Each structure stands twice: as structure tokens, then as C-alpha cells.
Amino acid sequence: MAEPVSGPRAQSESKALMRRARRRIPGGVNSPVRAYGAVGGAPPFIARGRGPRIFDVDGNGYLDYVGSWGPLILGHAPPAVVRAVKRAATLGASFGAPTPGEVEIAEAICRALPAVEQLRFVSSGTEAAMSALRLARAATGRRKILKFEGGYHGHADALLLGAGSGVATLGIPGSPGVPEEFTKLTAQVPYNDLSAVAGAFRNHGEDLACVIVEPVAGNMGCVPPRPGFLEGLREICDRHGALLIFDEVMTGFRVAWGGAQRRYKVSPDLTCLGKVVGGGLPAAAYGGSRALMQQVAPAGPVYQAGTLSGNPLAVAAGLETLRQLERPGVYERLEARSTALAAGLRARAEARGIEFCSAAVGGMFGFAFHPGPLRNLEDARAAHTGRFKRFFRAMLEAGIYLPPSPYESAFMSLAHRRADIAETLRAAESAFDKAARVR
Ligand SMILES: *Cc1c(COP(=O)(O)O)cnc(C)c1O
């Protein structure tokens, strides 16, 4: 159900709001990538969303492939989720006491992810990854961690080193304010490179508490694991007594029911979840075997807490989202759409002789002006940023809202129809023509 777009792309309201925002909020935004630093121009301020579309304060409509960076797998304002949140809000927003919904969503998640026997809810993916690390260090009695270049696991101190997402977009190695002593405990190697992982274990030996990995990397574009990569990590961790943490904040319930661990049949020790499990509200979680999770307070000594953890509104939104996703055929449909779009883009670029690659896994996809395939951050960095920028701007002007950085994945929702994909590919024709002129 397409809604009319009002005339040419007006921007006056968005620009006026940005001027006000910059006075009171650093860079005018509450998360860096929203500022459009990598693509230029003023970001539209969004007034509302419905299904696959969003509408800005100037009355422009867009087909949205950001989906709030992953949570909105059902599209914007899905009626069942809106009803669930309204019902929960009527009963009271928060109690700081146990509520029935928390038990239900914990049971639903454990049913979907066999490696998660117990879990703890938190409010953001950052908190989930930070807490999982603390638990891994406590459980192994070791201090160091291994991550991958371009992997993003939130903004906890130890994890900012060589991070993807907004950190990669800004091109900074880490962040001022993070003492070297902290990052010295973080080792990192290229994604998809098992021999580098083995090398890190030779160097850091019995000091490594865990390997934390995005099982499909989504914060340096969309980079699927090479066949055998995740299995290899499992084996190396077992051999060295380190824990394997799958950061499925993005991939959980996004690439398959039960996430990447079900899709690739590799069982991690700890799992981080977020985004989709909150249905668009702030919720995330970390979990694993009963034996590990029993070490978390108050069952055990590893401290971790949160005033709004397991918030009733967020839990209601997450639970209803999971209910919708458990229906048969949902992920097949989602993947068919992402694959059609990724392949369609590639075909149109190829027809113009443009170096271009794309990938799609479940409801996430990515593309790059690079001959491909992308295997790691170094590949992602070699992509043509000028062409990306030109393509992005042309698509935005045509009403297609893509992630404003080459280091981010794009997201398909169940609200996107075949006609929406066709509309997107039509817009891509002239966007590629414009990008091709950038040398
Ligand atoms: C988004 C993301 C995070 C951080 O989650 P926030 O809710 O933004 O703190 C962590 N890990 C991965 C893989 C992510 O994609």
C-alpha cells in the first residue's frame, strides 16, 4: 500500500531540526552513524513509519532498508506488536520486580536456541556483550579476549578496538578515553581467517578467556562466514579451554529462527541477543548453558544488574515479534526477498561494467563497490567509497532509504513485498548510472 510522496524532496523541516539538534546533542544525533558523515547531506528527521516505509517531517516517503538497524523484522508499527505494547503500557511501564512476560520470553528463546538453557535480559546489545565477556573471564579465570577486525559488539571499552559499524565509518582505531591497559587485553585478527586465530592462541596461549564473533559479520557490510570458519572456531576454543561467544545481536532471529547458530549448526558457549528480540523497544539478552549462567548474580558471584532490564513493554514487543516469526515459511520468504534484491542490484551493476558485489543471509543483506566477495575488513576498506556515496544519495532522492555507510548491513522486513523490491531495482538503474560516472 504505497502512500503518496509530496512533490520534490523537501528538506526544510529536517534541516531546521538539525540546526536545533546540533546545539543540544553532540553532532545532532544520539548515535554517530545517523549524522550521515560518510555520505554527506542532511539526514531526514523521521516522523512515522508503516510497513516497509518511513515518512520524514517534510512529507517525503521512503522504502526503508535500515529497519532501525535490524530490530524491525516485521516492518514499522506492525498491528499485533502495537497492540501488545499498548496493553502492557496500560498495566504499567515498569516495576523493578519480576513480571510474567519475562518468563514467557525466556522460555520462547530457550526453545529456539538449544545452546541457551538460561538467559539474562538487559537493555542493549552493548550491555549483553559486555556482560558475556565478564562471565567468560570469570568462568575461565583468564583475562584476554579475541575479537575480529571489523566486528562490532557495542561500545564497551575492551570491544572498541578495531570495531566495525560507526567506529569503522569514522575511521578511528578505537576511542580516546579507553586506556591502553584495557585494549592490551583484547587481541584481534582478520575475520574468516582460522590460521590467524590459531596464531593468536599460540601467542596468547592460556590467557584467552574467549573468542567473540559475529557469526555473520554485519558491521563491515554483510560478510558471511566461509564454510568451516565457525566450526573451526568451535574446535580451536575447545582445544584451548576458551569459551566461544556468538554475538547474535544482529543475526539472532534475523538470519533464521534461532539465529546463525541454528542455521550453521555450530553451538556457542554464550550467545548475545538484541535487536529483533526487543521488537523495536530496548531489550537484549545473553545466555548459555545452565552451568555458566548459574555463575551470574544472584545465583552466583558474577555481578550484573539493570533498573529497566526485562522491561514489560520491551518484553511484550519482543514476545509478540517472536510469535509472528515462529510461523512456517517466514524465513524462506524473507531470504527470497533479500536474495532477489541483492542479485538484482548485482545484475544491474554488472550490466554497466561496475565492480560490485552483494550478499544476503536471511533478512540481512549488503553490497559494496568492490569485485567481491568480501571476506574481511580489509576487503571492505578497499571498496569504492565515492561510488557508494553517489549511489546512496541517488537512491535516497528516489525514495529508497539505505544504510548511510558502506560498513553497515541493510535489512529486509516481512512487510517488504515483491513490488517494493521491483521499485527499488528501478531506482537503482539510474543510481548506478550516476555512480558509474564517479572515478
Ligand atoms: C548492534 C550490535 C550491537 C550493539 O547493540 P546496541 O543495542 O546498539 O548496544 C552489538 N553487537 C552486534 C553484532 C550488533 O550488531
User: Does an H or E element contain 348, and which?
Assistant: helix 330-351
Q: Are 410 and 402 in contact (CB under 8 A)?
A: yes
Burial-class residue 93 by CB neighbours within 10 Å (0-12, 13-18, 19+): exposed
> What residue ranges line ligand 1, CB within 6 angstroms?
124-126, 129, 152-154, 214, 218-219, 247, 249-250, 274, 284
Mean pLDDT of the chain: 95
Model confidence pLDDT, tens digit, residues 363-408: 999 999 999 999 999 999 999 999 999 999 999 999 999 999 999 9
pTM exceeding 0.85: yes
Closest to 278 in 3D by CA, of 81, 63, 144: 81
Which protein residue's CA is at the shortest distance from atom 5 of ligand 1?
A: 125
- Please tell me the distance between residue 154's alpha carbon and the centre of ligand 1 in angstroms: 5
Q: What confidence tier does 181 reach under pLDDT thresholds 50, 70, 90?
A: confident
Average pLDDT for 175-195? 90
Q: What is the pLDDT of residue 173?
A: 58
Give, as one character, the DSSP assignment of residue 2: P
Which residues face 86 on adjacent strands?
none
Q: Reduced to 3 states, what is the DSSP secondary structure of residue 252?
A: strand
Shortest-distance atom of ligand 1 to CA 125: 5
- Cβ contacts of residue 379 below 8 Å, gap of 6+? 223, 370, 372, 373
Q: Which of 155, 219, 308 to mutate to test the pocket of ligand 1 (most atoms within 8 A of CB)?
A: 219
User: Does an H or E element contain 170, and which?
Assistant: helix 165-170
Average pLDDT for 225-241? 98
Model confidence pLDDT, tens digit, residues 124-155: 999 999 999 999 999 999 999 999 999 999 99
Q: Hey, what's the cell of 198?
A: 590459531
Which protein residue's CA is at the shortest distance from atom 6 of ligand 1?
A: 125
Q: Reduced to 3 states, what is the DSSP secondary structure of residue 257?
A: coil
- Please tell me the distance between residue 336's alpha carbon and the centre of ligand 1 in angstroms: 25
Q: Are 144 and 207 in contact (CB under 8 A)?
A: yes
Q: What is the pLDDT of residue 194?
A: 98
Residue 210: count other Cβ atoms within 10 Å of its Cβ. Answer: 25
Shortest-distance atom of ligand 1 to CA 274: 7
Instruction: Estimate the crossing angle of helix 330-351 against helix 312-325, to 10 degrees.
Output: 80
Active site residues: 152, 247, 275
Average pLDDT for 409-413? 98
Q: What is the pLDDT of residue 5?
A: 47
Q: Are 380 and 221 in contact (CB under 8 A)?
A: yes
Q: Which of 72, 126, 253, 408 to mutate to test the pocket of ligand 1 (most atoms within 8 A of CB)?
A: 126
What distance lies between CA 24 and its chain's CA centroid?
27
CA angle (218 as vertex; 45, 65 as ends), nearest 5: 35
Q: What is the pLDDT of residue 2?
A: 45
pLDDT cut 90: percent of the chain above it:
90
